Amino acid sequence: MPDSSPLPDRISRLKEAIAGVVGARHLVTDPADLAPHLADQRGLYTGRTPFLVRPGSSAEVAEVVRLCAEARVPVVPQGGNTGLCGGATPDQSGAELLLCLGRLNRIRALDADNFTITVEAGCILSDVQRAAAEADRLFPLSLGAEGSCQIGGNLATNAGGVQVLRYGNARDLTLGLEVVLPDGQRWDGLRGLRKDNTGYDLKHLFIGAEGSLGVITAAVLKLYARPREVVTALLALPDPAAAVQVLGRARRATGEAVTSFELMPRIGLEMAVTHVEGCTDPLAQAHPWYALIELYGGQEQGQLGQALEAMLAEAFEAGLVSDAAIAQNAQQAAAFWRLREGLVEAQKHEGGSIKHDVSVPVSKVPDFIAAAAAEAQRRLPGIRPVPFGHVGDGNIHFNLSQPPGMDRQAFLALWGEMSTAVHDIVAGFDGSFSAEHGVGRLKVEEAVRLKPAVEIEMMRRVKRAFDPHGLMNPGKVVTPEA
Amino acid sequence: MPDSSPLPDRISRLKEAIAGVVGARHLVTDPADLAPHLADQRGLYTGRTPFLVRPGSSAEVAEVVRLCAEARVPVVPQGGNTGLCGGATPDQSGAELLLCLGRLNRIRALDADNFTITVEAGCILSDVQRAAAEADRLFPLSLGAEGSCQIGGNLATNAGGVQVLRYGNARDLTLGLEVVLPDGQRWDGLRGLRKDNTGYDLKHLFIGAEGSLGVITAAVLKLYARPREVVTALLALPDPAAAVQVLGRARRATGEAVTSFELMPRIGLEMAVTHVEGCTDPLAQAHPWYALIELYGGQEQGQLGQALEAMLAEAFEAGLVSDAAIAQNAQQAAAFWRLREGLVEAQKHEGGSIKHDVSVPVSKVPDFIAAAAAEAQRRLPGIRPVPFGHVGDGNIHFNLSQPPGMDRQAFLALWGEMSTAVHDIVAGFDGSFSAEHGVGRLKVEEAVRLKPAVEIEMMRRVKRAFDPHGLMNPGKVVTPEA
């Protein structure tokens, strides 16, 4: 029977009961200790919570969630708190309990012959990568926050990153899950199978649901052979259309060995060179566009570099590539990647930036960039589009730097209007208004505005079927009908 | 308002209304024309239907399903009718309408630069493969029935086949879906995006649901670069444990270029050579086990063959490979594949066969085969296990040929008992009782017996959320609680 006494009484009793489950020292109430958990990465949201709980096992997570369900107290799961859409921040009510998974940080098993690793939700992504490498295997999920994000959060948000082109999103790397449902039942779906057609594939509901259908506590992840050869090159290109053609040729010429293909405009490279330590202009001349390409191969002195060179020679003849530098060693490869990462960092030094994480079909990237840049410049002359990112996945981080000299706050006040315009253009190209960052709290209304009504209706049906009382991460991803 | 008049009246009015939608000539009632649609591929089930309807577009499918929902008449979707678990056969009630998708057979679009193809549900799989090849692309889904199965059925059953190791199951090849829901609403989820994190990934609910949540009418599928080099080899192995080790070494040595890795026991190869035209013993001596390995590469005269040879030389030194033949041309490669396919055909000439489509973690394949073979032989001395299949996916077709001379029917009468025993062993190795063939009608009870109770409960919640009146392919995959 649900407890229907006043909220403060319920929370007080709940706290006592949860302390009995996890131990009082794993409850956090000190404001200084809570603060980093109550604001999101970008500073868009700040919330409140009666207390934060750190269970130490999936059994404890299940018991905590069961107690919360009984008390009808909502739960907000949180991993490394590196999300960009406010999906892990409680609201301002002070009634939402914060559930942190960081103590569930064991690697439960690594089966090299099955090419799988079984990890708990609180494992740091880079620790998972390292454990795989130590067993001569590759866990290919790789993204900026990998040193602090937790794998449970990566799965809850279906993280993407720089190797999706070859290895897929977090979803595609997952074979099995352990999940605590909103009523506290625990589902052991930790299967390490490549083929399992025994009913609805429920793991795909929880992956990308941002904790709104249950709490992921562990997962079986796919591993791959660790590459013996890594080839990294920086290409100069006349335009994004050439990038799309070169990508297709590279996939073909290397037998699908391309792991990353990152587009950068000249303006972004200049920002990196200007503002970020260790970034230098890599080629003799300036070019309007660049692509960073990386390939993984199986042989120490393989033909991969030669295959890439032969493809580039043909692309040069065809006018698709203007210049190129193939990294001769790991340091040069790192320098190319520093430009790509530096471009993100550098934008902070150029004033306000209105950001979009969008995707379109790869074939439509050039037209999308042209149309969205033109529209932004029409709305605000002097605005500086810095479109960059994972063109191999059609995923463009369409960032708009403010006109030099403009007031930063006045510029950022245009965020809503600019975003609506950019997302409308994305929709016109059959694209997505959130390619890899998720919906969280930031894009709940945008989802309702842009997705087919029947799709929102189906999401609501699923939410009701799994969480009839609306207690799991309320207000995120999908909200009940108004 | 649902129509609550007697069933014959409702069906009669429904027929008239549907004829108005699709045209009377696309309704089938002649018993001779109906017969091939009323029995399943294996002859396990025969059903009845008031009539069969062949809509010509997804709009017509939607209108037909809406009319059925209003009349509360159940619908059984059917593609190429090549399934092995009775998932596309109506029951004996005579009340279930048969909905055939064969007229929805257009390839709507092929976007070579986006590496995608958009197809309607009724397209034959081999036609999709051919359209991709004509655009210099690869659609890698490949399986025995590809000349007659329809892509809609492949998606509804999450088909597997012989290239899952590298390219994944049908699910992994799907970017977007168009679906008609049980109430007749049409969902346009035909997105061709590699990254799209805008809420629950609903396409994964419909893929593998065998038509029990809605009717898939079209899909956007992933394409890959067409290989310029195909290397095929037949390896002789001492035991399945060696197969697992050789697979891992091959993945590593070729940079994940392995597309197929198929295990065959000597007894299966002998059956093929004995019974199937064109099958000959490929190596000088007999060996207890064989593996067919195939690799795809990007260069016409690439190093893939050399990389494989170098790996095999090392594996030979390590005692993992006893002999090997690398195909020198397409004819030799085809001859190796003929053995693999012939092995399936040949079992029909050896009397009754009790079949299992199971999977375990790849690392556990050797112990599973040993344990299951021993248990079968303990239960029926003289029984001949013929375990073969996609060891790269841990998917073993664990078939049991009858003892020579035993009465066929007496042997087949042991099916239930043998299956229960084999599936129990599979469960002990954390495996699946249906790796690629699905649940259909055949394995509904086995799902309830072997899956976690909470997983069946979640499946029922999903079913109720999408199909509250139980009208979409009733009795398949998951049934309402007793």
The confidence score (pLDDT) of residue B298 equals 87
In angstroms, rounded to a whole number, what is the distance separating the alpha carbons of residues B292 and B241?
A: 15
Tell me whether residue A299 is in a domain: yes
- Choosing from A86, A103, A120, the residue where a domain stops is A103
Q: Is the Cβ–Cβ distance between B64 and B21 less than 8 Å?
A: yes
Q: Are A340 and A239 found together in one domain?
A: yes
- pLDDT (average), residues A312-338: 97
Q: Do B199 and A111 touch (CB under 8 A)?
A: no
> Tell me, what amino acid is at A345?
E
In angstroms, rounded to a whole number, what is the distance separating the alpha carbons of residues B344 and B354?
A: 12
Q: What is the ipTM metric for this complex?
A: 0.96
Q: Do A113 and B225 touch (CB under 8 A)?
A: no
Q: Is the Cβ–Cβ distance between B460 and B425 less than 8 Å?
A: no
The confidence score (pLDDT) of residue B353 equals 95
Tell me whether residue A241 is in a domain: yes
The confidence score (pLDDT) of residue A3 equals 66
Task: List the structure tokens of A412.
Answer: 């950022």
Q: Are B130 and B212 found together in one domain?
A: yes
- Of residues B47 and A300, more confidence is placed in B47
Half-sphere exposure of A241 (CA within 13 A, CB side): 5
Q: What are A13-18's contacts with CB under 8 Å, separation 24+?
A: A13/A71, A14/A67, A14/A68, A14/A71, A14/A73, A14/A97, A15/A50, A15/A51, A17/A67, A18/A53, A18/A64, A18/A67
Q: Is the Cβ–Cβ distance between B349 and B366 less than 8 Å?
A: no
The beta-carbon neighbor of B255 closest among A112, A257, A359 is A257
In angstroms, rounded to a whole number, what is the distance separating the alpha carbons of residues B276 and B298?
A: 34
Tell me whether residue A452 is in a domain: no
Q: Are A361 and A340 found together in one domain?
A: no
In angstroms, rounded to a whole number, what is the distance separating the alpha carbons of residues A352 and A339?
A: 20
The beta-carbon neighbor of A187 closest among B195, B359, B454 is B454
Question: What residue numbers bound the domain in which B21 lies?
Answer: 7-103
How many angstroms away from the CA of B278 is the closest CA of chain A? 31
- Judging contacts by C-beta atoms under 8 Å, the chain B residues touching residue A311 are none
Q: Do A255 and B229 touch (CB under 8 A)?
A: yes
Task: List the structure tokens of B387.
Answer: 């375990």
CB atoms within 10 A of CB B278: 11
* Mean of the per-residue pLDDT values of chain A: 96
Q: Do A199 and B169 touch (CB under 8 A)?
A: no
* Domain containing residue B31: CATH number: 3.30.43.10
In the beta sheet, which residues pair with residue A260? A294
* Domain containing residue A275: CATH number: 3.30.70.2190
The beta-carbon neighbor of A252 closest among B185, B298, B436 is B298
pLDDT band at A376 (very low <50, low <70, confident <90, very high): very high
Q: Which of A138, A158, A200, A426 to mutate to test the interface with B (most CBs of B within 10 A)?
A: A200
Q: Which of A66-75, A183-192, B7-16, B187-196 has the lowest mean pLDDT?
A: B7-16
- Judging contacts by C-beta atoms under 8 Å, the chain A residues touching residue B393 are 194-195
Nearby residues of A338 by Cβ (< 8 Å), 6 or more positions away: A272, A276, A278, A279
- Judging contacts by C-beta atoms under 8 Å, the chain A residues touching residue B114 are 361-364, 394
How many angstroms away from the CA of A101 is the closest CA of chain B? 22
Q: Are A27 and A95 found together in one domain?
A: yes
Closest by Cα among B56, B82, B105 to B156: B82
Tally A–B CB contacts below 8 A: 310
Q: Do B452 and A394 touch (CB under 8 A)?
A: no
In angstroms, rounded to a whole number, what is the distance separating the alpha carbons of residues B229 and B247?
A: 19
Task: List the structure tokens of A40.
Answer: 């999101």
In angstroms, rounded to a whole number, what is the distance separating the alpha carbons of residues B169 and B392?
A: 13
Q: Are B330 and B416 found together in one domain?
A: no
**Which residue is closest to B193 within chain A, CA to CA?**
A361
Summarised one tens digit per residue, pLDDT across range A398-410 is 999 999 999 999 9
- The alpha carbon dihedral of A437, A443, A444, A446 has a sign of negative
Domain count, chain B: 4
Q: Which of B167, B198, B262 to mutate to test the interface with A (most CBs of A within 10 A)?
A: B198
In angstroms, rounded to a whole number, what is the distance separating the alpha carbons of residues B158 and B149?
A: 13
- Judging contacts by C-beta atoms under 8 Å, the chain B residues touching residue A164 are 194-195
Q: Are B214 and B115 found together in one domain?
A: yes
> Rounded to 5 degrees, what are φ and ψ at B94?
80, 5
Q: How would DSSP label each residue in B157-192?
A: TT--BTTHHHH--GGGGEEEEEEE-TTS-EEEE---
Q: Are B115 and B215 found together in one domain?
A: yes
The beta-carbon neighbor of B225 closest among A188, A208, A251 is A251
The confidence score (pLDDT) of residue A481 equals 79
In the beta sheet, which residues pair with residue B120? B218
Q: Are B324 and B412 found together in one domain?
A: no
- Judging contacts by C-beta atoms under 8 Å, the chain A residues touching residue B194 are 164-165, 169, 359, 362, 392-395
The confidence score (pLDDT) of residue A5 equals 82
How many angstroms away from the CA of B295 is the closest CA of chain A? 10
| C-alpha B188, offset from chain centre | 25
pTM here is 0.97
Q: Which of B163, B200, B365, B434 to mutate to test the interface with A (most CBs of A within 10 A)?
A: B200
Tell me whether residue A456 is in a domain: no
> Rounded to 5 degrees, what are φ and ψ at A222?
-75, 140
The confidence score (pLDDT) of residue B301 equals 72
Q: Do A432 and B196 touch (CB under 8 A)?
A: yes
> Tell me, what amino acid is at B323?
D
- Choosing from B225, B241, B258, the residue where a domain stops is B225
- Choosing from A165, A194, A225, the residue where a domain stops is A225
How many angstroms away from the CA of A403 is the closest CA of chain B? 30
3-state SS class at A431: coil
- Judging contacts by C-beta atoms under 8 Å, the chain A residues touching residue B456 are 199
Whole-number CA gyration radius for chain B = 23
Q: Is the Cβ–Cβ distance between A46 and A89 less than 8 Å?
A: yes
Tell me whether residue B342 is in a domain: yes
In angstroms, rounded to a whole number, what is the distance separating the alpha carbons of residues B40 and A117?
A: 39
Place of tokens 């509901």: A205
Place of tokens 């079986």: A220
Q: Are B116 and B202 found together in one domain?
A: yes
Tell me whether residue A396 is in a domain: yes
pLDDT digit of tens for each residue in chain B (482 aa)? 566 788 888 999 999 999 999 999 999 999 999 999 999 998 899 999 999 999 999 999 999 999 999 999 999 999 999 999 999 999 999 999 999 999 999 999 999 999 999 999 999 999 999 999 999 999 999 999 999 999 999 999 999 999 999 999 999 999 999 999 999 999 999 999 999 999 999 999 999 999 999 999 999 999 999 999 999 999 999 999 999 999 999 999 999 999 999 999 999 999 999 999 999 999 999 999 999 999 999 887 778 999 999 999 999 999 999 999 999 999 999 999 999 999 999 999 999 999 999 999 999 999 999 999 999 999 999 999 999 999 999 999 999 999 999 999 999 999 999 999 999 999 999 999 999 999 999 999 999 999 999 999 999 999 999 999 999 999 999 998 76
Tell me whether residue A430 is in a domain: yes
Nearby residues of B482 by Cβ (< 8 Å), 6 or more positions away: none
Whole-number CA gyration radius for chain A = 23
Closest by Cα among B249, B268, B247, B269 to B259: B247
Tell me whether residue A245 is in a domain: yes
User: Which residues in B452-477 are b (16+ Cβ under 10 Å) and which e?
Assistant: eebbbbbbbbbbebbbeebbbbbbbb
The confidence score (pLDDT) of residue B274 equals 96
In angstroms, rounded to a whole number, what is the distance separating the alpha carbons of residues B413 and B419?
A: 11
Residue A301 has pLDDT above 80, yes or no: no
Q: Do B196 and A362 touch (CB under 8 A)?
A: no
Please tell me what DSSP assigns to residue A228. Answer: S
Q: Are B245 and B178 found together in one domain?
A: no
Tell me the pairing of strands B258-265 and B384-390: antiparallel
The confidence score (pLDDT) of residue A300 equals 75
Q: Do B299 and A253 touch (CB under 8 A)?
A: yes
- Judging contacts by C-beta atoms under 8 Å, the chain B residues touching residue A242 are none
> Tell me, what amino acid is at B236?
A
The confidence score (pLDDT) of residue B7 equals 83
The confidence score (pLDDT) of residue A482 equals 61
Q: Are B382 and B334 found together in one domain?
A: no
Q: How would DSSP label each residue in A329-373?
A: SHHHHHHHHHHHHHHHHHGGGGS-EE--EEE--GGGHHHHHHHHH
Please tell me what DSSP assigns to residue A77. Answer: E
Helices (H) and strands (E) in chain B, counts: 16, 19
> Rounded to 5 degrees, what are φ and ψ at B176?
-155, 155
H or E element at residue A387: strand A384-390
The confidence score (pLDDT) of residue A203 equals 98
- Judging contacts by C-beta atoms under 8 Å, the chain B residues touching residue A161 are none
Nearby residues of B383 by Cβ (< 8 Å), 6 or more positions away: B376, B377, B400, B401, B402, B403
The beta-carbon neighbor of A477 closest among B157, B191, B199 is B199
Q: Do B185 and A436 touch (CB under 8 A)?
A: no
**Which residue is closest to B298 within chain A, CA to CA?**
A255
Q: Are B117 and B169 found together in one domain?
A: yes
Q: Do B458 and A187 touch (CB under 8 A)?
A: yes
| C-alpha B146, offset from chain centre | 10
Q: Is the Cβ–Cβ distance between B267 and B403 less than 8 Å?
A: no
Q: Do B200 and A192 touch (CB under 8 A)?
A: no
How many angstroms away from the CA of B107 is the closest CA of chain A? 18
**Which residue is closest to A230 within chain B, CA to CA?**
B255
> Tell me, what amino acid is at A237?
L
In angstroms, rounded to a whole number, what is the distance separating the alpha carbons of residues B356 and B426?
A: 10
Q: Do A195 and B394 touch (CB under 8 A)?
A: yes
> Tell me, what amino acid is at A177?
L
Q: How would DSSP label each residue in B396-419?
A: EEEEEEPPTTS-HHHHHTTHHHHH
Nearby residues of A268 by Cβ (< 8 Å), 6 or more positions away: A343, A346, A347, A386, A388
> Tell me, what amino acid is at A234?
L
Q: Is the Cβ–Cβ distance between B237 and B261 less than 8 Å?
A: no
H or E element at residue A86: none
Q: What angle do CA B259, B264, B267 make, to 5 degrees?
A: 165
Summarised one tens digit per residue, pLDDT across range A106-164 is 999 999 999 999 999 999 999 999 999 999 999 999 999 999 999 999 999 999 999 99
The confidence score (pLDDT) of residue A1 equals 58
- Spell out the alpha helix ranges (H) of A254-404: 266-275, 304-317, 330-346, 365-379
